[in-house]
Structure 1
């Protein structure tokens, strides 16, 4: 929501650029949406504060690029220590000069030399309809307090009281904000407050340099003729990130520009837009999240409101920021944020963390984003490289004088070292045990303060200076490549400069690669240890509960984990247990062994081969009239499509058995290996047998996605669970490495988690989750993205569709 440049000229904005408040108010917007439910005007998603999670936030902001609103963020806040209101501002900071504020929304220009006290007097007199105030007489209700300084007291209070799930993710200059990695003198001050009222607005624009926008209304005053805060609100018109180019063309078609921050598109024009427009009606306590590069405009209604606003740049969005500054260059706009310097210092900080032994998965993800961007910046700055790979032998200084100076410094250093050794020999006794102080040359903090005088873009390292014009004219490499210069006659007088020596940048890139490889090797080793079965907690037992009257169906119940699962459930007094087996004779033998062991006689055999969709279809058809309370997909080595078809065919059986008091359940065995699954490998999974570990990982990832998919599809009628049994010794007769055998669980422990989620009442509220050691754990991040889950599960539906259309 931050404006780009202050306006100081005194020229009038055309009246059509000022929004018509009557055609944009809440009643008009809501009536239009009610009368046109399939139109392009939509209400943005609003979630209560207690429901927000990092995954939901990332899905809206990053994956889908659509706005999100969190309501009730200020409920329960105790404001005894600090007041979030105008009176406190005027009392505490009365003489603070408001830089480039307030803005006259009638003319579009920023007023100068206003103090906080003067602006407070103006606002209170407007609110009370006192016309004796000269500012009120002159400006009416058109002054908007934009980009006002944020008191440090407010900053610490608000961030300390945000919801714990998102506090660190949205904190300004926190762990997830790369702007906080810059040296203090380079960090931009982008935490602002906005004070508006009816008649004020922010024209259509995109937030600075592709950053993530955050806006929280922390105070609202009822209008003059009202006693409720609900009559004070702000209406946001927001366009998703993917439609930003179409929005720019649409603004241009109507005589405005999203890059100039000077045009508020009328609501009637937005109705006819060729893209969706998301409407947010922001009131007290509402937290609005603005996706990167999302065009938006804001119109205030009712009484005075105060908004708390800031921007952040994350590793997931900094690539967009790097692209956006190229757009700034073409429009001759200052990028405000030094994105290249941000990437450089963020990478340095994470390299230092890894070198100190701080190894976090978040750091590895950051490195995956930052390292390629840094290498691209270096290439664009024309550092020497061969075949896309940097080589120290190819790193050359751009100045002959510098090379001579370096040689001279090396000779001086050698002489000093020689003299130092001589002095040590002469004063060996006196200096024994005393540490000699040697001056160390420290890398100075790079200023990164150079900008191109032609296109205003940020210059990271290399640039040209004109000897004729002196050092006052700096020109970026892009302008030189385009043939631009301070003067065509001075082209031969241009000299290349560097703010950072090439060797130092090469060192950062090289260290970055080494640090990333170290981190990857570390987590591969940790994953290998996890695969060995969490050695020190390998024995677990599921508690016994009474499952009287329930019917169970267990795939692969003739051997291994499936058979052990059937044995444990059989002693809990079920109604009947169906088990499936590929081979009828082996299945019958397994049932006889189970009956002898448990004295339970209601076992039934279903012949089914999960690697044959025809066999799966036949088995499901034979059970079409049977109510199934619990379906356990435990044939661990089987592929995904058989389970998918079987679960789809059995959905009606599960729903038929489910009751509000006792919901049906689906348990699907997966593996810790699903954490290694990737989007790239998901499409390669077919109904055949696994031939590699990567395929196995992706199969188990799809099994976990199946759990998430059917949680949404079956709704509240059926609970679904993904279970990781661990490294289980399913056949003790097989010779194994002694170390591996020591790490393996017995069969009873391997089946414990499956039995627990299938029978225990305490698992009912944990549907759709990934379980191990009888506790829910965090799955592969892809499983948490519902759009990704839907995409891949639905992409495999055509493979099983022929068996779903049969009568």
Structure 2
């Protein structure tokens, strides 16, 4: 059995956080800055309603999914989960000592079922299954069961789908726990949109969520850093009810029960505490263009600062998104010339233009004027990350084959190198993943296509101006 001790969780109390005695009504009455999260019956949920929650950046719950015809109790249960899982060992964490181990799924489920609903005096083991692989049968149901609103499915408005197979990122995970197991306060990676569905419960199991608004992200970071003396991006602080109560921003409290789909806003800080009996949840993240923009300009620098792995490969996702969007756009332009001013094409052009603006800022940090002389890797599908900060390597990096770890060359991102980080011998070689000329030629092709479109549609003068200036050349 594999074991490892990870960074200890910080706690404000000598005892493990417990939700014994909690009720939603009592929590909401106890503290004036605690607010109930909005709950909307699935029968009244529309794309407009969901878009409103997203625009406001507030947490919400879509309830009653378990009553829909497509809900399958015979599939969505813990025994079926064990039968369908192809994984022999699953990673679990003991919340008492923060030790990660691997157990058979059946053994883990049995221990979880036998555990008391709440922490007991002298207890030394309470296991939580976090980030577990979801069975394919459950994934198929999620996509085809006609239960989850289509605009929230893992493939809807999720730019990660454009990544090639060799670079795919899996954001769909399962969680199994019993009362008093938890996920410490954190934000979802890279400003992604979060969704979390309670699929199964035993003995009235539920989960309490403490969540913040998107607009309070900076205030949350300041509060954790200055008052609680921890960094929210470390995902290591177990926040007490009193900590949340003293916060200078509203905290939304939600009790998630069977059939509840929790919508997590981008950059929302949230902590989840399981309550009562065994629960099984499935969660997934989506990266929209808004997520990409916020990640590039705000979240990735924060991840670098705390050395949190990027995981979602933001810049590579942006690159392949532009390629995919332009392929679709140019094909429609060829087939429907007389409709080149249509609303659909105009929206596509605006989306590509927005993506290109972000991409140009990415390229500014990836390019040097003598890039032609730099060596390139033969394969553009390599998966590299900075050995210091964990940032995904998109185009440029520094490498030293003499200073290797487990046979792999030492790899440093340009930002870390500029801050003085290097290998032991200090003889790192600037390197590129792929020829930069190829990227610039692809970019210019997209700009030319946009210019042709804007010639027939002057409704977006800003887009015309961008396309005209951008085509003048990247370095001008």
**Which residue matches 1:8?**
4
1:373 aligns to what SS in structure 2? helix
Tell me, in whole angstroms, the C-alpha distance in 2 between the residues paired with 1:375 and 1:445: 23
Q: Within the alignment, does 1:103 sit opposite 2:93 as a pair?
A: yes
Distance 1:282 1:124 in 2: 19
1:455 equivalent in structure 2 = 389
The alignment's C-alpha RMSD in Å is 3.0
Aligned residues of 1:464 and 1:477 also touching (Cα < 8 A)? yes
- Select the residue among 351, 373, 379 that pairs with 1:398: 373
After superposition, residues 784-799 of structure 1 pair within 5 angstroms as none
Structure 1 CA distance for aligned equivalents of residues 332 and 431 of structure 2: 36
The within-5 A match list for 1:92-491 is 92-93=84-85, 96-98=88-90, 101-112=91-102, 114-126=103-115, 139-140=124-125, 142-162=126-146, 166-167=149-150, 169-172=151-154, 174-222=155-203, 231-252=204-225, 253-322=227-296, 323-357=298-332, 360-384=345-369, 397-399=372-374, 446-466=380-400, 468-469=402-403, 472-487=409-424, 490=426
Alignment map for 1:628-707 (pairs within 5 Å): none
Decide whether aligned partners of structure 1 residues 102 and 327 sit closer, same or farther in structure 2, where only a CA change above 3 A counts.
same
Q: Is the 8 A contact 1:11 1:107 kept in 2?
A: no
Cα distance in 2 for residues equivalent to 1:354 and 1:204:
41
1:64 aligns with 2:49: no
Q: CA deviation at 1:340?
A: 0.5
Partners in 1 of 2:7 and 2:353 — Cα distance? 48
Q: Is the 8 A contact 1:82 1:154 kept in 2?
A: no
SS of 1:457's partner is coil
Distance 2:93 2:143 in 1: 27
User: Structure 2 length as normaliser, TM-score?
Assistant: 0.84
CA contact (8 A) 1:82 1:153 kept: no
2:446 to 509, 512, 525: 512
Q: Distance in 2 between matches of 1:360 and 1:317?
A: 22
Question: CA 1:348/1:26 → structure 2, altered by over 3 Å: closer, same or farther?
Answer: same
Aligned to 2:474: none
Contact 2:198 2:257 in 1 (8 A): yes
Secondary structure, counterpart of 1:156 in structure 2: helix
| Equivalences, count | 442
User: Which consecutive unaligned segments of at least 5 residues does structure 1 have?
Assistant: 1-5, 34-38, 132-136, 223-230, 385-394, 403-442, 528-675, 679-807
Which SS does the other structure have where 2:51 is aligned?
Answer: helix
1:509 alignment partner, SS class: helix
Quote the offset at 1:468 in angstroms.
4.5
In the superposition, relative to structure 1, how do residues 469 and 108 fare at CA in structure 2: closer, same or farther (>3 Å)? closer
Structure 2: distance between partners of 1:507 and 1:293: 35
Q: Distance in 2 between matches of 1:64 and 1:448?
A: 38
- Classify the secondary structure of the residue corresponding to 1:146: strand
Quote how far apart the aligned CAs of 1:517 are: 3.1
Q: 1:52 to 1:333 in 2, by over 3 A?
A: same
Residue 467 (structure 1) shift: 5.8
Structure holding more strand per residue:
2
- Give the number of the structure whose alpha-carbon radius of gyration is greater: 1
**Aligned-partner Cα distance in 2 for 1:480–1:215:** 38
For 1:82 and 1:516, the matched residues in 2 are separated by: 51
Q: Distance in 2 between matches of 1:356 and 1:85?
A: 45
Cα distance change of structure 1 residues 16 and 7 upon mapping to structure 2, 3 Å threshold: farther
For the Cα contact (< 8 Å) 1:341–1:448, is it kept in 2?
A: no
Higher relative contact order (CA 8 A, sep 6+): 2
Match of 1:53 among 46, 54, 61: 46
Query: 1:15: how far off?
Result: 5.4
1:445 deviates by 6.7
Which residue in the other structure is 1:26 paired with? Answer: 24
Higher helix share: 1
Q: Per the alignment, do residues 250 and 23 of structure 1 end up closer, same or farther by CA in structure 2, a change over 3 Å counting?
A: farther
Deviations 1:257-296 (A, max 9, x none): 3222222211122122111111111111111111111111
Q: Give 1:73's aligned residue.
A: 65
What's the offset of the Cα at 1:504? 0.7
Show CA shifts across 1:206-250 (max 9, x none). Answer: 10111111001111112xxxxxxxx42211111111211221232
